[in-house]
Chains A and B, each alone.
Chain A
């Protein structure tokens, strides 16, 4: 039942008319902490933390904590505290190579009576006991718990906010209206504890926060995207994505490279190329994911080639039992950097 509802929610983007929702436009600067908070006038929004956590004895694990907000476009004037204007859902996953597949969990609820909420003032989203919020000292903290694992982590920013695209206006297609408002916070210093199968370990690590809101994310004809966010050991940060069509070809691409000295380079559709090397086929869903693509970016100094390698191949998040779409969200490394790779729309066209 929950599965069906989530599947329904996944269809939102395709079904609802865009008219009542705000459109991402260029030329507006971010205002913090306000923009850490929710933007309910846009249809879709997420708080997306991915990262590496390092435990005692040199063990490395990956994790993902994501809160999504979806506006229904319904009940705008409904005086009820239960008025179904916003639906929140969240995914969390732990990538442990010793396990060999993702441990994951999810939550979903309508925003009502404080049990599920997304503050408009600052980062403060919660669904029941799952939370992600920003403390007065600037750290983000989260608590999530899924089947066999729990994360209690704090993320301390060590670098300024990285506005994506044109000062936060990130185009997703040739039509200027196919765009999002988008910023990232790379190089978050991770501290806290991870519970896995009942055993608690104190961890450190580094993570990446993506904040994005939009009403028209996927252009017509798009089936999914490849995305990566990489924290370089020298302090550099790279975000790159491409939007894929049904034939696997690139419909749009983009990204941002921020050098260790803080100078940013915006990458256009012709500056980013993902080339698949091996494909890992999921026994569960049958989807074949290019889990170790060769990423090439064109920088002013020349083309940089980054061979990505997954922490382990099976980092597919098969949320079908919980009603979520199927996607691959995994910890990856490349020489001199580590980060996350996201592959969506491989088990069927993604509808957000």
Chain B
């Protein structure tokens, strides 16, 4: 026997033999790995594609300037800042920009007011290309240049109505924007933007080109010193930060779920390999007798794991690519989360690095899952193993609980750690440790749960046999249970978390939506005081609360917060925890829970808000729950805001109707009362419909999560089935023995069914218990650390009971199905298999 033969042939025939004998079990393990790899890779790809598209879109609008000075609010920056900045040393060129959020025929378009001559030096991609005719068109106040996406079927030369905050102005389409075809972008002359849309004296952005070889750090410092309140400095790095921050937590969450799927895969590999090693004890013993050393046996089992891993990873990468394409097509680039509201489907961006990374993870998972079984196989004493096929643990010894308790203890400690860079790394570590602890506790737990049964004697031999068998072979039971417990635990954890989240969102919607009808202008603010009075005077309207959301930036590297302007802002939303009255003469504001956590604000804190060109010190009176604006929100009183900014436009209205009035009639009356251009862009919804829509958005954003759950259930059940059948097949000799002792086939099948049911029961109870624990980590650690919001725990008892029941039934049935073929073997032959 040559070394080459030993190294290659023996493993090959053993792996091939195993594949022939137990295709389902091995396939399950491979599939689990494939699914983990596929999900992780797909989530990564979809998000990378969406981020790429979103970042490109943002870069398009920003035009690729070296640095930008931006307004922190909708009030803009005084235009006199522009010449001051342009004259600073180190600034090669400065281009002033008015940024308008326009609607053209109902379509939202980013409309930039530019000085084409300045933009030519700083942001040449934003330059217009005039159509045929007058080249002066770039300066003409009547000219509008549209990107291909914004053109939407219109032609150069057409007159077109542009609506900005309810103000409609007519322009001539004078040409295109060749540098921004995919983004809905428009360009008009900066003077037209100012004088035709009531923005005289203000600009929103100054794009900067730095002098060649200038010291960026020093220029940033000079600029920061020169900036008035209401203006911040931003560069492309800040854009990336902001874009990344938008979805990082959501993305990391999904990635972590994918990793958790991989972890389940590891347990399934472990379970499959452990069973296989136990069953093939004689094979390994034979190998040892034939001269193989321990390292070769270890290598043999690890090689099997490697094969599982490679196949799983390869299938997973292909599957992930397919899923990513499908998801991009069906759900959109934001995975249904609504973070990137780009209209069309972003192209898939393939990431070879990520593919390699996830494949390596899958292979590592399979190897880790095989590690313990490999060492077990190597420790098999040839003489004993060749004769005996039993549980290695003495049934009289109580299984140890200490390792499990230690793992769980470290897990709990990890859950108490703070987030790392906005990512709940320790939270995920905690989940992994809790799962490992739960699995490690299985032999002990199985004993503890079966103890009451084991002390009793049953009349039915089937029950008696089943209980004794499980009691006597705790580690085999534990191996079968590990995969079940891991996948059920995760599934339950996700289910409890989503139920808690949805319940909290539902309750929150009830709190913030007390009126009958809700009107929204989709982010615009078309209602000036006159329009507001007109709206309040519509027949059937009892009371209207007008509000508006304006972006307000407190830090350049974070997305802008939403400044919610409404009457009685401080008391309009129920407070989480205490509420302090603002001291006399101070401006009181409410901050949302995410804002409070992102900016470390507590009631009594002071925030400097850039409003109306000043830094206004505001007093935090309370913190309100808000699931809608992840970047944070600040609620400020209308009167205060109007005085500070002079901005009296509003975009949203909560409308109470008179008792007995018909909502549909009132909605129609409001639509009739508004100018047609505004009426076309607003939406009015009854409160029930709005709530429904909000929950529909919630469900859509968790669609991927539900999908993951379903996959976890399927993998878990497949694992149960495969494990049960494998164990059953391995016990053919035992059944033969029982037959010789007078136990009928029917009784053996019944015994197996009861065994399966008991296993399912134990696994279910353990999984549910573990899941509820992991759910608390998700609710109290992962969510607050990732999304900066909290929620109240809600336990979906029906679902929990259903899962346990499904497990019991599934494992009983699979055990019986496998048992029927096992006992059909002739009893005499079955016993003689004992060599």
Do B117 and A82 touch across chains, with their CB atoms under 8 A apart?
no
Cα separation A1 to B122 with both chains bound (whole Å): 11
Indicate whether A15 sits within 8 Å of B134 (C-beta atoms), given known contacts A5-B120, A74-B140: yes
Max chain A Cβ within 10 angstroms of own Cβ: one of B87, B118, B138? B118
Q: Pick the residue among B82, B120, B136, B140 that contacts A12 (CB under 8 A).
A: B136
Instruction: Find residues 203-235 in chain A having any chain B CB closer than 8 Å to their own CB.
Output: none
Given A16-B136, A82-B96, is A75 in contact with B141 using a C-beta cutoff of 8 Å? yes
Contacts of B141 in A (CB 8 A): 74-75, 78, 84
Across-interface contacts of B83 in A (CB, < 8 A) = 113-115
Residue B161 at the chain A interface, CB threshold 8 Å: no
- Complex: A74 Cα to B201 Cα, angstroms: 19
A15 to B82, CA, bound (A): 32
Query: Closest approach, in angstroms, between the C-beta of A98 and any C-beta of chain B?
Result: 25
Q: Are B190 and A80 in contact (CB under 8 A)?
A: yes
Contact flags (1/0) for A42-64 with B, using CB distance below 8 Å? 00000000000000000000000
Task: Check B402 for interface membership: any CB of A closer than 8 A.
Answer: no
Report B70-87 CB contacts with A as 1/0, cut-off 8 Å: 000000000110110011
* Min C-beta distance of A28 to chain B, whole Å: 29
Which of A1, A15, A74, A115 touches B127 (beta carbons < 8 Å)?
A: A1
**Contact at B138–A5, with CB atoms within 8 Å?**
yes
- Chain B contact-residue range equals 20 to 34
Hey, what's the 0/1 contact readout for B115-130 against A, CB within 8 Å counting as 1?
1111011001001001
Kindly state whether residue B135 has any CB partner on chain A within 8 Å: yes
Say whether A79 faces chain B, with CB atoms less than 8 Å apart.
yes
- Is the CB–CB distance between B195 and A79 below 8 Å? yes
Whether A82 pairs with B135 at a CB distance below 8 angstroms is no
Q: Provide the residues of chain B in CB contact with A80, threshold 8 Å.
A: 190-192, 194-195, 200
Residues of B within 8 A of A8 (CB): 130, 135-136, 138
Partner of A1, one of B79, B120, B200, B201: B120
B139 at the interface (CB under 8 A from A): yes
Does B189 sit within 8 A of A, measured CB to CB?
yes
Contacts of A81 in B (CB 8 A): 79, 191, 194, 201
Dominant secondary structure of chain A at its interface with chain B? loop
Q: Which residues of B contact A108 (CB under 8 A)?
A: 117
Q: Are B86 and A75 in contact (CB under 8 A)?
A: no
Cβ contacts under 8 Å, A16 to chain B:
134, 136
The distance in angstroms between the C-alpha atoms of A337 and B555, with both chains bound, is 66
Alpha-carbon distance A347/B261, docked complex (angstroms): 71
A87 at the interface (CB under 8 A from B): yes
- Map CB proximity to B onto A64-101 as digits: 1 under 8 Å, 0 otherwise: 00000000111100111111100100000000000000
Are A113 and B80 interface neighbours, CB within 8 A?
yes
B191 pairs with A83, CB closer than 8 A: yes
Given contacts A5-B138, A81-B79, A82-B96, contact A128 B86 (CB under 8 A): yes
A84 to B141 CA separation, bound complex (whole angstroms): 9
Residues of A within 8 A of B130 (CB): 8
User: How far apart are the CA atoms of A237 and B195 in the complex, in Å?
Assistant: 50
User: Considering the complex, which residues of chain B in the window 193-219 have a beta carbon less than 8 Å from any beta carbon of chain A?
Assistant: 194-195, 200-201
CB-CB under 8 A from B96, the residues of chain A are: 82
In the complex, what's the smallest C-beta–C-beta distance from A146 to chain B, in angstroms? 14
Q: Is A259 positioned at the interface, with any CB of B under 8 Å from its CB? A: no
Given A75-B191, A79-B200, A128-B86, residue A84 in contact with residue B120 (CB < 8 A): no
Closest Cβ–Cβ distance, residue A19 to chain B (whole Å): 15
Pick from B117, B190, B192: contact of A109, CB below 8 A.
B117
Partner of A113, one of B79, B116, B192, B200: B79
CB–CB B115/A110 < 8 A:
yes
Q: Chain A, interface size: which category?
A: 20 to 34
* B176 CB, nearest partner CB in chain A, Å: 13
In chain B, what residue has the closest Cβ to A81? B79
Interface centre among A9, A73, A112 (most CB of B within 10 A): A112
User: How far apart are B715's CB and chain A's nearest CB, in angstroms?
Assistant: 56
- How would residues 155 to 169 of chain A score, 1 for a CB under 8 Å from any chain B CB and 0 otherwise? 000000000000000
Chain A residues within 8 Å of B118, by CB: 109
A15 to chain B, nearest CB (A): 6
Q: Which of B52-107 contact A (CB under 8 A)?
A: 79-80, 82-83, 86-87, 96
Most A Cβ at <10 Å: residue of B117, B118, B136, B141: B117
In residues 230-287 of chain B, which contact A (Cβ within 8 Å)?
none
Chain A residues whose C-beta falls within 8 Å of the C-beta of B124 in the assembled complex: 1-2
Q: Cβ of A121 < 8 Å from any Cβ of B?
A: no
Measured between beta carbons, the chain B residues less than 8 angstroms from A7 are 135
**Chain B residues touching A, majority SS:** helix
A276 on interface, CB distance cutoff 8 Å = no
| Set of chain A residues within 8 Å of B120, measured between Cβ atoms | 1-2, 5
Given contacts A1-B127, A110-B115, A112-B115, contact A78 B191 (CB under 8 A): yes
CA–CA, A82 to B138, complex, Å?
13
Query: Given A11, A82, A114, which contacts B115 in the complex, CB threshold below 8 Å?
Result: A82
How many Å lie between the Cα of A73 and that of B79 in the bound state?
Answer: 24
- CB-CB under 8 A from B121, the residues of chain A are 2
Complex alpha-carbon distance, A225 and B121, angstroms: 31
Q: How far, in Å, is B174 (CB) from chain A's closest CB? A: 12
Interchain CA distance A80-B194 in the complex, whole Å: 6
> In the complex, how many angstroms separate the beta carbon of B92 from the nearest chain A beta carbon?
10
Give CA–CA (A83, B130) in the complex, Å. Answer: 19
Min CB–CB distance A231 → chain B (angstroms): 35
Among A81, A112, A114, residue most surrounded by chain B Cβ atoms (within 10 Å) = A81
Which residue of chain A has the shortest Cβ distance to B133 in the bound complex?
A15
Interface centre among A12, A80, A81, A84 (most CB of B within 10 A): A80
A82 proximity list for chain B (CB < 8 A): 79, 96, 115, 189-191, 194
Contact A84 B139 (CB under 8 A): yes
Which residue of the partner chain B has the closest CB to A128?
B86
Write the nearest CB–CB distance from B692 to chain A, whole angstroms: 46
A1-30 contacts to B (CB < 8 Å): 1-2, 4-5, 7-9, 11-12, 15-16
A12 to B139, CA, bound (A): 12
Q: Which of A1, A84, A109, A113 contacts B189 (CB 8 A)?
A: A84
Q: Which residues of chain A are within 8 angstroms of B191 by Cβ–Cβ distance?
A: 75, 78, 80-84
Shortest CB–CB separation between residue B262 and chain A, in angstroms? 50
**In contact, A72 and B117 (Cβ under 8 angstroms):** no
* Beta-carbon nearest neighbor of B113 in chain A: A82
Q: Give the residues in chain A near B140, CB-CB below 8 Å.
A: 74
Q: Given the complex, which residues of A lie within 8 Å of B135, measured CB to CB? A: 7-9, 11-12, 15
Which residues of A sit under 8 angstroms from B201, Cβ to Cβ?
A: 81
Residue of A nearest to B123 (CB): A1
* 1/0 contact string of A119-150 vs chain B (CB within 8 Å): 00000000010000000000000000000000
A79 CA / B79 CA spacing, docked (Å): 14
Cα distance A1–B82 in the bound complex, in angstroms: 22
Interface string of A266-277 (1 = CB under 8 A from B): 000000000000
Q: How far is the CA of A109 from the CA of B135 in the complex (A)?
A: 16
**Given A109-B118, A110-B117, are A15 and B138 also a contact pair (CB < 8 Å)?**
no
B135-157 interface bits toward A, Cβ cutoff 8 Å, 1 = contact, 0 = none: 11011110000000000000000
Which of chain B's residues have a CB closer than 8 A to the CB of A83? Answer: 191, 195
Q: Is the CB of B117 within 8 A of A5?
A: yes
What residues on A are CB-neighbors of B195 within 8 Å?
78-80, 83
Please determine whether B190 and A74 come into contact, CB atoms closer than 8 angstroms.
no
Q: How far is the CA of A112 from the CA of B139 in the complex (A)?
A: 13
**A74 with B82: CB separation less than 8 A:** no
Using an 8 Å CB-CB cutoff, how does the interface string of B163-197 with A read, 1 for contact, 0 for none? 00000000000000000000000000111101100
**A152 shortest CB reach to chain B, Å:** 17
Q: A78-B141, A80-B190, A128-B87 are in contact. List 10 more A-B contacts (CB 8 A).
A: A1-B120, A1-B124, A5-B116, A5-B127, A7-B135, A16-B136, A74-B141, A82-B115, A84-B141, A110-B117
Closest 3 CB pairs of A and B: A8-B135, A84-B139, A80-B191
16 residue pairs A–B, Cβ–Cβ below 8 Å: A1-B120, A2-B117, A4-B127, A8-B135, A9-B135, A15-B136, A74-B140, A78-B141, A78-B195, A81-B194, A84-B139, A87-B117, A109-B118, A110-B115, A113-B79, A113-B80
